[in-house]
Amino acid sequence: VKVNLKDHSYHIIFDRIDQLDQYLNKPQKTKILIISNPKIFRLYGQQLKRSLKYKKYQVFEKNIPAGEIHKTLNTAEQLYSFLIKNRFTRRDLIIALGGGVVGDLSGFVASTYLRGIEYIQIPTTLLAQVDSSVGGKTAVNHQLGKNLIGAFYQPSLVLIDRTTLNTLPKRELSAGLAEVIKYGIIKDKRFFSKLEESLAITNNLLAKCCFIKAKIVEKDEKENNLRMILNFGHTIGHALEAETNYQYYLHGEAVALGMIAATYISNQVGLITEIDLNRIIALIKKAKLPTSINYDYDFHKIKKIMEKDKKISSGQVTFVLIDSIGKTVIRNDISWQLVKDSLRFLKYG
């Protein structure tokens, strides 16, 4: 898949990690920092290093602890220090080997070290493969909120090795499927139907997701308008994640709930049919994702979080709704009452 952006287009390659060297044409002795986490590095670090050493690059590695709580400016600062101490120049390279946390953080460091150093992403979770590997969003968290600091910065290459999913916990695989299903809902009715037949993860499925996202991002790199449709399910999803302090749901699980809520709201304002609402819920269930909230949520807290969310423009919450499967509608006239109802729907059906 080729992602065409004005002055920084790049390719998404489907191949094995140990084949990466084939796609690199940096001169010998180029310094490469692999940023990963201990678990992923144990699984794939050596084959990546072998591939890079074959080309006589100088390979460095730095593992960061797993988890969003380490995706901070503090960790970024440690990486800056490492790069400076090892005299990385703008012509050197960073490789992000891991999931979203590693990718977001590495991308942010790459975008800001010496005002930008080249970086490559090797996403090893389904979520990262179909979502964060396309679009150039990099970020770190702030104590007051997730992903509030970041930059739009594109990698020079994304390598997707589907076999890395074999070692991914089942729960994370399901979480990734939430974003896969999202692509069908917002943009491709036929793809949605195919997913209803089978949720088996093939290179074709991954490429399709990347392709849909790439087309949207190409038209709207800096998230002015169209790109907003990618946030389908994320407005309420994010709020549920934040309300539970990111301890309870995986991102994809919260998005699954958010998609059901957004579909429910769509139905209530007369957009999508109840039949399609039920099809969406059924597919989410098939992916072994949660379809209901099983704890006592605090609506006022959720509302507050939504009001602080960066997708809000001048006080009005902007919702991505759907007219039918494959077709989105942007609305900013949704009442708080309806948001409340959608949460009640998630809780009690």
Task: For residue 150, give both structure tokens.
Answer: 């970041």
Does the protein bind a second copy through residue 301 (CB under 8 A)? no
Structure tokens at 100: 């979203």
139 binds a second copy (CB under 8 A): yes
Minimum Å gap between C-beta 10 and a second copy is 15
With contacts defined by CB under 8 A, name the span among 10-18, 36-44, 134-142, 204-212 that binds a second copy. Answer: 134-142
Shortest Å, Cβ 290 to a second copy:
29
Residue placing its CB nearer to a second copy in the complex, 77 or 274: 77
Least Cβ distance, residue 306 to a second copy (angstroms): 12
Per-residue tokens: 318: 């902007």
Distances (CA, A) of 307 to 151, 185, 300, 315, 317: 22, 25, 11, 7, 7
Q: In angstroms, what CA-CA distances link 133 with 88, 97, 209?
A: 24, 11, 11
Check binding of 149 to a second copy (CB under 8 A).
yes
Radius of gyration of the chain from its Cα atoms, rounded to whole angstroms: 20
304 is a site residue for a second copy (CB under 8 A): no
- From candidates 24, 43, 66, 151, binder to a second copy by CB under 8 A: 151
Return the number of the residue (14 or 60) whose C-beta is nearest a second copy: 60
- Active site residue ranges: 115, 137, 179, 213, 223, 227, 231, 234, 238, 251
Q: Which member of 14, 60, 152, 297 binds a second copy (CB under 8 A)?
A: 152
Which amino acid, 44? Answer: Y
What are the backbone angles phi and psi of residue 120, rounded to the nearest 5°?
-120, 140
Question: Which of helix, strand or coil describes residue 205?
Answer: helix
Spatial distance between the Cα atoms of 323 and 131, rounded to a whole number of angstroms: 23
Q: Closest distance between a second copy and the C-beta of residue 147, in Å?
A: 8
Q: Position 231: which residue type? A: N
Does 226 bind a second copy (CB under 8 A)? Our answer is no
Contact (CB, 8 A) for 126 and 168: yes
300 binds a second copy (CB under 8 A): no
| Binding region for a second copy (CB under 8 A) out of 17-25, 60-68, 85-93, 122-130 | 85-93
Tokens at 148, concatenated: 């509030």
If one asks whether residue 9 binds a second copy (CB under 8 A), the answer comes out as no
> Are 96 and 102 within 8 A, CB to CB?
yes
- By the rule CB under 8 A, 114 interacts with a second copy: yes
Compute the C-alpha angle 168/169/170, nearest 5°: 110
Which residues of this chain interact with a second copy, rule CB under 8 A?
A: 6-7, 27, 29, 73, 77, 80-81, 84-85, 87, 89-91, 111-116, 137-139, 142-145, 148-152, 222-223, 307-308, 310, 312-314
